[in-house]
Structure 1
Amino acid sequence: MSQLNYKHLHYFWVVAQEGSITRAAERLGVAIQTISGQLSLLERQLGKALFNSQGRGLVLSDAGRVALGYADQIFQLGDALVDAVQHSDSGATLRLRAGISDGIPKLLAYRLLSTVTEMPADVRLICDEGEFESLLAELALHRLDVVLTDRAAPVGGNLKVFSTRLGEFATGLFATRGMAERYRSDFPQSLDDAPLLLPTRHNALRGRIDRWLERTGIRPKIVGEFEDSALLTTFGRGGLGIFPAPLALAEQIAAQLDAEPIGAMSGVSEQIYAISSERRIHHPAVEALCAAAPQAAAEPGV
């Protein structure tokens, strides 16, 4: 196959975004015939139709959806290349592209990443949130500098990424003020049949909480399970139930979620890792993050 013509791909990308060749031509300032002709050349090269007609517009074919996914990545990388080259000799701003696993408490991610903003250098923090596997893939493609997550990267396989343990954060149970006063007395036995909000079983913390419940013999009423930690705490703030969170964040949780600690779960902790694409960390902001993390984990919350 001959080398891909990126001008043809760009025209396809814009047509996919606009939903019609006419609107794409207006956006690009070229003739409709130009886009139509070069789109046909791209389809001929790929051997697949990229669009199907629908009314007066176009919709992507199955092959077109595949091509669009790659085109999105290619042109996002192109934008990043231009930005990196334009700022390569300025030395003014240090960029840290951090991926945050959706199971990590957002207040905890803030505590860890805020150390980066305190560096002497001017730092621009770019954060992305997503599922563990997706973030690792982005890291492997060098679209991220570091991933904060609740587990180490898997050993072996094709992904060349490396884990640095940032620390453990002792975990307790929190609730709105009235609910906390109700269940704080005779903790943890008071939790029998109490409404409890938990992370899903995809989250490493969930297994530790389940084992704690088994050890204590407590049988709460699980009223909600959440993949996203921010959604979990939002429901907790609304008074739907008791929720787990790092005890070190008690002050921030009180201020932002209007919730109080009920008690600590002995032996249960939130483990946080920084995953990078190199065994030795060279990014100054990632180095600062890893150096400051033990202090953040050691700070008492209650």
Structure 2
Amino acid sequence: MRDLNYNHLRYFWAVAHEGSLTRAAAHMNLSQSALSVQIQKLEHQVGHPLFERVGRNLVLTEAGRIALDYADTVFKAGDELLSTLKGRPVASRQVLRVGALTTLSRNFQLEFLRPLVDRSDVELIVRSGNMRDLLAQLEAHTVDVVLANSTAPQDARSSLRNHLLNEQPVSLVGRPRTDERTFRFPEDLRTEPLLLPSLDSDIRVAFDRLLELAGVRPVILAEVDDMAMLRLLAREREGVTLVPPIVVRDELEAGILVEHCRIPGVTERFYAIVAKRQFPNQLLLEVLNFDKTGIPKPT
């Protein structure tokens, strides 16, 4: 393979960031046809298509996303060289892009990212959103992994894979009681005010089924789809709150909240959703404890 032509790489880099041959050609004072030829030469050299056309838009392929990451590094290195020679050295860093459901426990997200948080050579980009938008970003290669508490839909054509990271118990928690009375589940829920996750939550569905079988109609104070808000309300309101203990771990350790009971047979599962990649992000393989082919290492 011949040495990489950095002029071709610069042309590709410009088109990728502009998202348009027209705009990139205008900025570089080239014709669209000449710019297109340069991109084709680079694609021929690397052996992979770098763009695909979706309607009127140019969209990066998986190989294109990898190439853009390297191109960013290459041209950033030029800036770093100038900075270094002027006495302002800048360390280069690897990047991991993480998508997380807006409603997902922040404590769980931190536990997942903890191996990378203190590394000076790593840049973490965390984006929150709903499942549909995050999975679209995953398939478009703009995030490397999606963290969720439910699985992505799969069929024979899907490139998405669900990896179970953890399974947590679910409890009723609340502020410390002034009396010595032990909480009785589910009987006390006939009168005890209750804070719940929304009906979109798997743990809410399982919990409602338990109460229905027990013939208990709870007094519901609030239904919240954001675990961070549910955590705050648990601190402020009377009654009990249905949450995985990891969500309120700090409050339990500080004694602000206490765990009244574990809910039998109800757990919350946490998943890393990834897309099958020809070029997986090495940082992602590291935090998932996978080998370089994307297969879980034996434990």
Partner of 1:155: 154
Gaps of 5+ in 2: 1-19, 28-56, 81-90, 291-299
Q: Within 5 Å, give how 1:1-302 maps onto structure 2.
A: 5-6=22-23, 83-86=72-75, 92-117=92-117, 122-156=121-155, 160-178=159-177, 184-239=182-237, 241-248=239-246, 251-255=249-253, 258-278=256-276, 282-291=280-289
What amino acid sits opposite 1:95 in the alignment?
V
Q: 1:267 deviation in Å?
A: 0.9
Which one is further off, 185-194 or 248-257? 248-257
CA contact (8 A) 1:139 1:145 kept: yes
Which one is further off, 185-194 or 198-207? 185-194
Provide the C-alpha distance between the structure 2 equivalents of 1:182 and 1:221, rounded to a whole number of angstroms: 22
Q: 1:146 deviation in Å?
A: 0.6
Report the identity percentage. 26
Provide the C-alpha distance between the structure 2 equivalents of 1:93 and 1:137, rounded to a whole number of angstroms: 26
1:214-260 Cα offsets, whole Å, 9 max, x none, are: 34443321121122211222222211542222235664232579322
What amino acid sits opposite 2:114 in the alignment?
S
Q: Which has the higher helix share?
A: 1
1:137-158 Cα offsets, whole Å, 9 max, x none, are: 1111111111110111111287
Q: 1:5 deviation in Å?
A: 2.8
Provide the C-alpha distance between the structure 1 equivalents of 2:144 and 2:122, rounded to a whole number of angstroms: 13
Provide the C-alpha distance between the structure 2 equivalents of 1:88 and 1:150, rounded to a whole number of angstroms: 39
SS at match of 1:5: helix
Gaps of 5+ in 1: 11-69, 293-302
SS at match of 1:110: helix
CA contact (8 A) 2:170 2:263 kept: yes
SS at match of 1:177: coil
What amino acid sits opposite 1:234 in the alignment?
L
CA contact (8 A) 1:212 1:267 kept: no
CA contact (8 A) 2:106 2:247 kept: no
CA contact (8 A) 1:197 1:236 kept: yes
SS at match of 1:103: coil
TM-score by length of 2: 0.62
What amino acid sits opposite 1:163 in the alignment?
N
SS at match of 1:109: helix
Aligned residues: 223
